[in-house]
Structure 1
Amino acid sequence: MTSLPAPSPWTAALPEANPPEGMALYQLPTGTYDTRAALAVRGGSFRDKRHFAANAVLVTHPGGDFLIDAGFGEQVDEHVKMLPLFTRAPYTKTTTVYEQLVRAGYDFTRLRGVILTHSHWDHSSGLDSLDVPIWINKGEREYAAKDGDGKVFRTVSVGHKIHEYVFGGPAYLGFAKSFDVYGDGSLVIALAGGHTTGSVVVFVTLPSASPVASGKRYAFIGDLTWQYDGIKRRAERPWLLRTLADSDAGQVREGIVLAAALVDVMRVVPAHDVGAYDGIPVLPRVMPS
């Protein structure tokens, strides 16, 4: 198997970030679904079954909190039925994002919105029980409005306020366009495209005083690759899957190479790799005040 070109590791200074004290990051697992590695990444084995994560991530910040993706929702069974038969896979649902936040005594007035890495069903299903704005860029909003893979999004987004952000910032770690959510460099959205028209990478930088993963940086890359070995080996999806799943395979390849250049300077997290979330704490039973 031929890997994509090896990038030069990132050696330049990282973009300036001034994350405030009290900022934190949590993972909210909502379930998994199963597929064979041969269908997940080029060169994978049919004997290797992968559990695909359906996670959301909560970013808490004094300027208001955000979720990155929404995981499986309360009506996920109905959402799966909306998918073409050949794309359905065995899945296990656990606890929705909404239920986890309620259990933790979370103050929903703090939640400013859900930032979708893209609009596919396994990232948007949980919007069915979250009454918060959806943060999405114009390209992804247009994709979700007309593409067949946007059917679940179109269902769960009804009644939600849509906040359409604009990429007004400069290139960010090789990605051509960016948007700094808080203006302090701690949460930056960069346009990746390729998997869907407006799919993004969400970069998070934690403060040095953080009790967990002090000063660590994360790149939540959505579905540039489904598994981390796609980044490690610079391996795209198999031909059939990238034909079905990606809107621009060439743009995905560029994104994989850019993400691979960052693995020595931050944690790169493909959305569906269970192990990639190791070290990110789960939401506590009682949220810190």
Structure 2
Amino acid sequence: MPSLPTPATWTDPLPAANPPAGMGVHHLPTGTYQTRAALAVRGGSLRDKRPFAASAVLVRHPKGDLLIDAGFGAGLSQHIAMLPWYMRSPHKAGRTASEQLDAVGYDRGRLIGVIPTHTHWDHTSGLDGFRRTPIWLNTAERQYASSAPDSRVFRHVSAGHEIRSYDFDSGPYLGFPACHDVHGDGSVVITPAPGHTAGSVIVFVTLPAGTRYAFVGDLTWQLDGIRNRVERPWLMRMFADHDPRSVRRDLLRMIALENLIQIVPAHDLDAYDGMPGMTPAEPPC
């Protein structure tokens, strides 16, 4: 299948960041569901069955920790039952993010918020384990989630939660028109990436050692989209994306950064390579 045009590689300096000592990221895998590659990326094979990851990522920071997405929750069976029949893929559930944090004695008082990259069920089911933790949403995604059919599970699990609004109140960031610097030190920066949903976002994280991550949510479902410069198949773009043209634009922005940042599509298990988990042998700082 034809690839997207090759964007010019990013050649400007990377944005300044001053991540503090003790900062880190942890991958919290909560399970997988099965999707054929032909439905994930253009040119994918029907014979290639992919285990789509459902994960959360804990970002530790001295000013307060954040969870990016929430993965599968304790009420997963109920949540899947709320989906249309054609979205109920075979799945394997693991320990929830909440259970993984509790297993290492994590102090919930450190957690200042959950930032969903968007409000689809497989990113928010696990919110049922974080009832006392605020959910951070920008205005566009909050409005989208209030009525969109594909945010029904989010509305269910977010009932009773504090919703904390944030704005994109700073200037351009790595080709994106605006951003929100969570801690004011450039270590956790959120940019708008509307397209998959009306208010979907990318969360950029920079660690003290200089490693940079871009948690891109469902901008692409698999790393193939970055490496091979391919979109979702046409039918899936029309079915799954709020604005396919915006998705293409931001996908090209990320492809331009491929060699500078570890890009993490939420559903590609390989994208989390090198990221530690949460185990009793590796307690949080």
Q: Establish whether TM, by shorter chain, passes 0.5.
A: yes
Residue among 248, 264, 269 paired with 1:269:
264
SS of the residue corresponding to residue 72 of structure 1 reads: coil
Percent identical among aligned pairs is 58
* SS in structure 2 at match of 1:123: helix
Corresponding position: 1:16 with 2:10 = no
What are the superposed Cα offsets for residues 50-105 of structure 1, whole Å, 9 maximum, x if unpaired? 00000100000000000000000000111011111111100000000110000010
Please give the alpha-carbon distance, in whole angstroms, between the structure 1 residues aligned to 2:191 and 2:270: 23
CA deviations 1:161-182 (Å, max 9, x no partner) are 0001001111111111210000
Aligned match of 1:86: 86
Instruction: Give the superposition deviation at 1:288.
Output: 3.7
1:120-156: per-residue Cα shift (whole Å, max 9, x none)? 0000000011120000100001111111001000000
Q: How far apart, CA to CA, are the structure 1 residues paired with 2:240 and 2:219?
A: 11
Q: Is 1:98 aligned to 2:94, yes or no?
A: no
Give the TM-score of the pair, scaled to structure 1: 0.97
Matched, 1:232 2:217: no
Whether 1:198 aligns to 2:179 is: no
Output aligned runs, 1:28-47, within 5 Å.
Answer: 28-47=28-47
CA–CA distance in 2 between the matches of 1:163 and 1:140? 12
Aligned residue in 2 for 1:64: 64
**Equivalent position of 1:188 in the other structure:** 189
CA distance in 2 between partners of 1:5 and 1:88 (Å):
34
Deviation, structure 1 residue 10: 1.2
Q: Structure 1 runs of 4+ off > 4 angstroms? A: none
Between the two proteins, the alignment pairs up a number of residues equal to: 283
5+ residue gaps, structure 2, are none
Q: C-alpha displacement at 1:3, in angstroms?
A: 1.1
Distance in 2 (CA, whole Å) between partners of 1:170 and 1:233 is: 30
Letter in 1 for 2:151: G
> In the alignment, what sits opposite 2:48?
48
Aligned CA-pair RMSD: 0.8
2:197 and 2:43 map into 1 onto residues whose CA distance is 23
Q: Determine if contact 2:25/2:59 at 8 Å carries over to the other structure.
A: yes
Q: For residue 284 of structure 1, report the CA deviation from its aligned partner.
A: 2.5
SS at match of 2:217: coil
SS of residue paired to 1:146: coil
Deviation at 1:268, TM superposition (A): 0.4
Note the alpha carbon deviations across 1:11-35, whole angstroms, 9 max, x for none. 1100000000000110000000001
